[in-house]
Amino acid sequence: MARYDQLASRVYTETRMPSGTRDLVLALGWVTLRDPRRHDPAIGTWARTREVMNTDNKRIWQLIAEDVPRYDFDLHDKAPMGCQAPMVRVQRLCGRNTMYGFSEFDPATGWMTYWGFCNRPRCREYMRTIEQRAKGSKDRAPEPIPNAGGLLPLFFSWNWEAKYRKAMALIKFRSSWEPPSYGLSADEWPEVPGQEKPKAFPKLRLIASGGEVIQRARPKLVIA
């Protein structure tokens, strides 16, 4: 199967991929593998990518910013509103307004769970065990395993760290972003129970240029 078809079919099986990231991966794939103008030395990969996507530089940086590898608490914490102590005779949680709340950090993943409990003595009794367990859990927990972004490096090798940094500063106005120590590419992250880890893909190389998205060097195919 031709490389571009392989790329497209792989992209369409990546169910967690946001549509913007998908557009960018497919456009980059088209520009580097299939575009009739791909051998024209006067046309840079990114300039041509903007052209085929009918978009501007800012949108490209937005798409890169959306793919920044990170841990996003909201993506996995599905704790219900209200007191989380179980009821005795019925199969549900108490659910009353919470008076006490604290966070617990998973010792394996570093992921955070938020606990909330109401003022009833029985609920507070239940809370105490969890509170004991949660105490100091932040210090014992590892750096959280990322659960968002990191999809562009699955398909293309490039100096993503510098690009993510720039995208965060330009688009999210955050200069504090640091690359996860687990790696930039989602296929490098440790497996988390209940989460499907993306499969690796033979990476296409996009030669990096100094600072700008626009660049002229020819991308090379990397056979993994």
Structural element, H or E, at residue 71:
none
Q: How many residues bind Zn ion (CB under 5 A)?
A: 7
Q: Which of residues 26, 63, 85, 127 is near Zn ion by CB under 5 A?
A: 85
**100/177 with CB nearer Zn ion:** 100
Please tell me the distance from the alpha carbon of residue 203 to that of residue 7, in angstroms, as a whole number: 10
Please identify, among the stretches 49-57, 81-89, 176-184, 197-205, the one whose residues bind Zn ion according to the rule CB under 5 A.
81-89
Please tell me the distance from the alpha carbon of residue 99 to that of residue 29, in angstroms, as a whole number: 53
127 near Zn ion, judged by CB under 5 A: no
53 near Zn ion, judged by CB under 5 A: no
Please identify, among the stretches 59-67, 69-77, 122-130, 167-175, the one whose residues bind Zn ion according to the rule CB under 5 A.
122-130
Q: How far is CA 148 from CA 18, 23, 133, 180, 195, in A?
A: 10, 17, 27, 11, 12
* Shortest distance, position 121 Cβ to Zn ion, whole Å: 10
Dihedral-angle region of residue 150 (phi above 0 means left; psi in -120 to 50 means alpha; beta otherwise): left
65 near Zn ion, judged by CB under 5 A: no
Q: Which of residues 33, 123, 168, 204 is near Zn ion by CB under 5 A?
A: 123
**Closest by CA position to 33, among listed 78, 68, 2, 76:** 2
**221 CB contacts (<8 Å, ≥6 apart)?**
3, 204, 205
**39/89 with CB nearer Zn ion:** 89
Q: Which residues bind Zn ion (CB under 5 A)?
A: 83, 85, 94, 96, 118, 120, 123
